[in-house]
Amino acid sequence: MEIKVTPIAEVNAHALEVLYKEIGVVDTTRFMNQFSPGCGNYTEERDELLAGLSHDDIVAGIKKNRGKPEMKRNR
């Protein structure tokens, strides 16, 4: 038995085509963005964001903001 190995570029192109047809361009883009590496250094940003806050401060902030629309961050 012979197994045909399709080049990964062809597999990706076909997968994107199927996604576009099935869920549309916007949702395909949203789906694909889950797998992008992003940018920045999460650990450094988190340390800066939470500097000087206690566990209780963080919990109180979460409870205060629950249900509110997400804040927009400047980058």
Q: Where exactly are the structural domains of the chain?
A: 8-65
* Residue 71: predicted pLDDT: 61
First to last CA, the chain: 55
* Residue 73: predicted pLDDT: 57
| Residue type present at position 31 | F
pLDDT digits (tens, 9 = 90+) for 18-75: 999 999 999 999 999 898 887 889 899 999 999 999 999 999 998 999 987 766 655 4
Contact 40, 48 (CB under 8 A): no
Neighbours of 20 (CB within 10 A): 13
| Residue type present at position 41 | N
